Amino acid sequence: MRLLLDESLPWRLARLMVGHDVTPVQRAGWSGLENGALLQAASTTFDALITADQNLQYPQNLATLPPGINLFRILRATFQSID
């Protein structure tokens, strides 16, 4: 699975996702993109966006995005809470 790791999460989280192709937003060159633009960009290349941003779906309408992007939210954005 091709996963995009949002800049709201520690990049070290990628090493816990063994068996998946994980790319941090920074490495994709999308640092600082607004939420709607990030979702649109991610939907063209990735299967899922992993984020800690609790407001990501607002104000953009997720129904307007191309099918195929999944959004996963992690409640605590520290590596220690995930590891």
- Over range 7-19, report the average pLDDT: 86
**Local confidence band at 69 (pLDDT 50, 70, 90 cut-offs):** low
- The whole-chain average pLDDT of the chain stands at 78
CA nearest 4: which of 32, 38, 34? 38
In this prediction the pTM is 0.74
How many domains does one find in the chain?
1
Q: Hey, what are 40's tokens? A: 């649109």
Domain that holds residue 38: 2-82
pLDDT at residue 75 above 70?
A: no
Tally: H helices and E strands in the chain: 3, 4
**Local confidence band at 35 (pLDDT 50, 70, 90 cut-offs):** confident
